[in-house]
Amino acid sequence: MKFFKKVFKPIAIACLVLSPALSFAGAGEGQELYDAYCQICHGGLGEGQPMGKPLTDRNAEKLSDNDLVAVITNGRSGTGMSAWGSSLKEAEILDVAGYVRILQGGTGLSLGEGNIAQSNDPMALAGEQVFNGSAGCISCHSYRDSGGSVGPALDGLGTRLDQEQLLQSLLNPSSVIVSGYEAKIVEQNDGTVVSGRFRNDSELAVQIQSADGARWVTYFKDRVKSIKDSDESLMPDVYANLGAADQENLRAFLQSL
């Protein structure tokens, strides 16, 4: 079973909807904070500006997650890097650091993931096989530091969504779309339609994430036929097409994360 809608090329990006009321909200909020406070010095894509160093070069990428968070929190003495610990909440700093990792081609932060215990529940173990197999969720989402980079990492999902919220997200992905994972639909002049998660929407252009999550493709508005918002989640109805046993097992696995 494929995990993407076949309405365009490249393929649509699938994202599991998460609760909007999270203490560590993730990439969408991280981008908003980055755009508001960081891009003026470091550039919209982390490419660097005269006032700030690049965030996507080797030196920045080799920082550990803890060191990256510490730099944002405490700043760097002798440089123009300010300390944000007194201005931003801890969760907001984690969101920004996670977004920097995404700019670097990663999936976000992995703080503490090595201590995540694996469930021994037979249903959860069977659901993990569904997640990695017939449902194809692993192609977009990661857990325990493995999986795709298109959708958000799902570690800790069971503590963020109760059973009813999780079921609603699986049955009706478009009911709640978390900030940062909304989609735009781009129709090109040759008739090709591209739909995907977007960022940096300006008067001149919009960037759409590629299907593999590895890059952001820029579409100039005066060079395409149309660009419009989508009110549908990019997550296809995979869950509805599973058998009852696979559905129950998949829910058990997701609750175990």
| CATH of the domain spanning 27-103 | 1.10.760.10
Q: Is residue 221 pLDDT above 80, yes or no?
A: yes
> CA-CA distance, 234 to 194, in Å (whole number)?
12
Place of tokens 């609603």: 168
Asked if 150 and 212 touch (Cβ cutoff 8 Å), the reply is: yes
Q: Is residue 192 pLDDT above 80, yes or no?
A: yes
The conformation of residue 151, written as its DSSP 8-state character, comes to S
Q: What percent of the chain has pLDDT over 90?
A: 32
> CA-CA distance, 192 to 212, in Å (whole number)?
18
* pLDDT tens-digit map of 13-62: 334 433 333 334 456 788 999 999 999 999 999 998 888 889 988 888 88
> CA-CA distance, 89 to 94, in Å (whole number)?
9
Which run of H or of E encompasses 146?
Answer: strand 146-147
Which residue from 205, 211, 245, 248 is spatially nearest to 223, judged by alpha carbons?
205
What pLDDT score does 26 carry? Answer: 52
Record the tokens describing residue 176, joined without a space: 């709640």
Q: How many CA atoms lie within 13 A of 44 on its CB side?
A: 9
Enumerate the domain spans of the chain: 27-103
Mean pLDDT of the chain: 81
Place of tokens 């803890």: 66
What pLDDT score does 2 carry? Answer: 36
* pLDDT tens-digit map of 136-187: 888 877 787 777 766 777 878 887 788 888 898 899 888 877 777 788 999 9
Comparing 149 with 238, which gets the higher pLDDT? 238
Q: List all residues 6 or more positions away from 50 whose beta carbon is below 8 Å from its beta carbon.
A: none
